[in-house]
Chain A
Amino acid sequence: MSRARQAPSTFLSSVMRIFDLSLGEMLWSRRTVFMGLVLGAPVVLALVTRIVDAYGQAPLSVNGERVSGAEMFGLLFWWVYLRFIVPALGIFYGTALIADEVEDKTITYLFTRPVPRAAVLLGKYLAYLVCTSLVVLPSVMLVFFLLVPLSEIGRLFGSLLTDLGLLALGLGVYGALFALVGTLLRRPVIAGLVFAFGWEQIAMLMPGYVRRFTIVYYLQGLVPHAIPSEGSEGIVSLLTYAFSDSPAASTCLFWLATAMVASLVLAARAIGRREYVLSQ
């Protein structure tokens, strides 16, 4: 009786209750196995590199020139983490925030609780952010310590912090965008895959303003790692081209924050107005 007379829960407390409920569900789901496999690959690669290096061999050489550990970390960070893992996690977790509840026909139970619908979305989004960050960031940290020579760790501390912040930001933006996609579309995973691994890849290689309609363009502007100089061949020239047009850090942060907030607001509005008819 006393509980019934308590003041109605605030929006924030509703968000926290949903967060509390969702975090465990997310962590101990089949998706975590997928995430573990995806994140384990760069760690294993870094470990092998370290072992090869310990035996006096060059783990990676370009034109007979050994690629340093710090540069290998930079390449791994950009191509594996930021260009693949972060969007992939955003797709598989972000689209599932609401879509899974609809598919499992459990969304009714959430919506019948005395919590605002927007709080459901936000609580689940926060759970996604904490769940993925707590797995991705330690993995990057491990790869950093495995690849970067110990004498250079101090010098690269600033860029490591930027890297970690960038990953958290990337997870936040992709997660918010794909949460919106998951709220609006019936087949959100396909749409997410087409956007992240189709549109963004092609747009980044196209000249002109097209690349400004991608998230990766703004993430790239914040990447601190030194990129090999011009005049090189193959992968190096591709990298040079890809990084040749980088916007200012403040511009990147503004558009990334705008994309994240706008996606969340639109997703919250969509979930608040939409009527979910669950097929039997």
Chain B
Amino acid sequence: MSKRTRLFVFVASASLVAGVGTAAVASYVGLDNIGLLGQSSDGDLAYVPGSSQLVAHADVRLLMDSELRQRLKPALESAAGHGLSVEELGLNLETDIDSLTMAALPAAPDAASPTDSSLVLVHGRFDTGRIEAAVRNQGGVPEDYRGTRLVTTDKVGVAFIETGLLAVGSPAPVRLALDTKATGSTAVTKNEALMSLLRRVDDGNAWVVADFAAMQTSKMLPVPVAGQLPAITWLAASGNVTSGVSARVLAEGRDETAAQDLREVVRGFVALARMQTGTQADFAQLLDSIELTSDGKTVAVKFDVPGQFFDRLKDATVQQAPVSKPGTVVRKLPLKPAA
């Protein structure tokens, strides 16, 4: 074999190995985790405007397939309401949706409610024709916006971004999401404060990061609720749902005093819960799992909710359901037909 043939074989093999190796690392570790791509790696966040006050994500597929969900499925189905809008659109939550990313933007001055400024990015398998028909039946008008098909009514906008990815929300946030993706510079990934918290919680099946101070300012939270909370500036939470739930909540206070106050509030709640639940094993297990730590302005609470805890809640719900009013005569069915 000549020298140049050897060189070719070596270079071609090396490039193949490097490519497969990179993909393998991405598969097992994730490119985000090794810091090769930084913030731009998450495709969905590129659509989320930087002005978002709350960003949340749920891996619906993992949640739906989780052991806990399967155990609670009968109870959840009976509790679910009828005529879900997603079903009207031809979507099945069980099978069609893989993940959801939600963002809450500052409400416009003329917005009727905070949900008028929300945006949801949905990954899954969709019958786009049916979804578009459903929106158009409500008076929706299709248009091409930044190269993407967008159907909007006065209240709702649906953008068919790419196969398996929809943006749903009020028309203005959906348009803003497409603008954000097109320009790139105004995405939430450029918001360093939010992204630094996000990186601490995005390892869960579901996570949320909220700019608490901004939400209070824009009155996104009900005034009585906001008034009772310590001076929190940022809140982040993540949960891993398997047979139970492992959750972590991070709260950043305005200053160290606020963080200390918050820590005391949590301690108080835990003590109160211990007094209330007494010797109940499931509650004791939950309370024992609580880890409260603090670092400067940040307070972190970590806890595990065992699967048995949910079973107990389910049983309690079932037992409470057929409560009869005092004095009500319960007619028993005859064991034998009357002669």
A residues lining the B interface (CB < 8 Å): 20, 23-24, 27-28, 56-58, 61, 63-68, 71, 130, 134-135, 137-138, 141-142, 144-145, 149-158, 160-161, 164, 228-229, 231
Chain B positions near chain A (C-beta within 8 angstroms): 1-2, 4-5, 8-9, 12-13, 15-16, 19-20, 22-24, 26-28, 30-32, 37, 41-43, 125, 127-129, 142, 144, 146-149, 160-165, 181-184
Docked pose: A138 CA to B17 CA in angstroms? 9
The closest CB in chain B to the CB of A62 belongs to B163
What are 7 A-to-B residue pairs whose CB atoms are below 8 Å?
A28-B5, A61-B149, A64-B160, A137-B16, A144-B19, A154-B26, A229-B125
B143 to chain A: closest residue by CB: A64
Write out the residue numbers on chain A whose beta carbons fall within 8 Å of the beta carbon of B32: 151
B98–chain A nearest beta-carbon distance, Å: 10
Q: Are B147 and A130 in contact (CB under 8 A)?
A: no
Q: Could you say which residues of chain A place their CB within 8 Å of the CB of B12?
A: 134-135, 138
Q: Is the CB of A149 within 8 A of B16?
A: no
Residue of A130, A150, A228 most packed against chain B (CB within 10 A) = A150
- The distance in angstroms between the C-alpha atoms of A124 and B13, with both chains bound, is 20
Contact A150 B127 (CB under 8 A): no
Bound-state Cα–Cα, A27 to B129, Å: 50
> Once the chains are docked, how many angstroms separate the CA of A151 from the CA of B162?
15
User: What B residues does A134 contact at CB under 8 A?
Assistant: 8-9, 12-13, 16
Cα A138 to Cα B11 in complex, Å, equals 10
Q: Are B37 and A150 in contact (CB under 8 A)?
A: yes
Is B16's CB under 8 angstroms from A157's CB? no
Q: How far is the CB of A54 from chain B (nearest CB, A)?
A: 9
* Residues A27 and B41 in contact in the complex (CB < 8 Å), given A66-B147, A153-B31, A157-B24: no
Known contacts A23-B5, A27-B8, A61-B149; 16 further A-B pairs (Cβ under 8 A)? A20-B1, A56-B183, A56-B184, A64-B149, A65-B149, A65-B163, A67-B162, A67-B163, A134-B9, A134-B12, A134-B13, A141-B19, A151-B41, A152-B43, A154-B31, A157-B27
- In angstroms, how far is the closest chain B Cβ from the Cβ of A251? 27
Chain A residues whose CB sits within 8 angstroms of the CB of B162 once the complex forms: 58, 65-68
Asked if B149 and A63 sit within 8 Å, CB to CB, the answer is yes
Contact in complex: B15, A138 (CB < 8 Å): yes
Instruction: Give the shortest distance, in Å, between A140 (CB) and chain B (any CB).
Output: 9
Asked whether, in the complex, the Cβ of A154 is within 8 Å of the Cβ of B23, the reply is: yes
Q: Which residues of A contact B146 (CB under 8 A)?
A: 56
Q: Which B residues are in CB contact (< 8 Å) with A228? A: 163
In the bound complex, residues from chain B placing their C-beta under 8 Å from that of A154 are 23, 26-28, 30-31
A222 to B94, CA, bound (A): 27
If over half of A's interface residues share one DSSP class (helix, strand or loop), that class is named, otherwise mixed; here it is helix
| Contact A58 B27, beta carbon cutoff 8 Å | no
> In the complex, are the beta carbons of B43 and A151 less than 8 A apart?
yes
Q: Is the CB of A64 within 8 A of B148?
A: yes
Given A56-B181, A56-B183, A157-B23, A66 and B8 touching (CB < 8 A)? no
Task: Decide yes or no: A145 and B19 within 8 Å by CB, A23-B1, A56-B184, A64-B144 being known contacts.
Answer: yes
- The answer to whether residues A61 and B9 also contact, given A20-B1, A151-B41, A151-B43 and a CB cut-off of 8 A, is no
Q: How far is the CA of A202 from the CA of B12 in the complex (A)?
A: 35
A56-B183 Cα distance, complex, nearest whole Å: 7
A131 CB to nearest chain B CB (Å): 9
Contacts A130-B9, A157-B23 given; indicate if A68 touches B164 (C-beta within 8 A): yes
Minimal beta-carbon separation of A268 from chain B (angstroms): 24
Closest 6 CB pairs of A and B: A64-B149, A157-B27, A141-B19, A56-B182, A154-B26, A66-B162
Given A56-B181, A56-B184: A66 and B148 interface contact (C-beta under 8 Å) = yes
With both beta carbons as reference points, the residue of chain B lying nearest to A24 in the complex is identified as: B5
A32 CB, min distance to chain B CBs, angstroms: 10
CB of B176, distance to nearest CB on chain A (Å): 14
Q: Across the interface, which residues of B come within 8 angstroms of A20, CB to CB?
A: 1
Say how far B206's CB is from chain A's closest CB, in angstroms.
18
Docked Cα-Cα span, A228 to B161, in Å, equals: 16
Residues of A within 8 A of B184 (CB): 56
| Contact (Cβ within 8 A) B2 A24 | yes
Q: Which residue of B lies closest to A158 (CB)?
A: B27
Q: Which of B16, B23, B181 contacts A153 (CB 8 A)?
A: B23
Query: Could you tell me if A68 and B1 are in contact, using CB atoms closer than 8 angstroms?
Result: no
- What residues on A are CB-neighbors of B8 within 8 Å? 27, 134
- By beta carbon, the residue of chain B nearest A61 is B147
Instruction: List chain B residues, Cβ under 8 A from A58.
Output: 147-148, 162
Could you tell me the distance between the alpha carbons of A151 and B43 in the complex, rounded to whole angstroms?
7
A158 nearest CB across to chain B (Å) = 7
Contacts of B24 in A (CB 8 A): 157
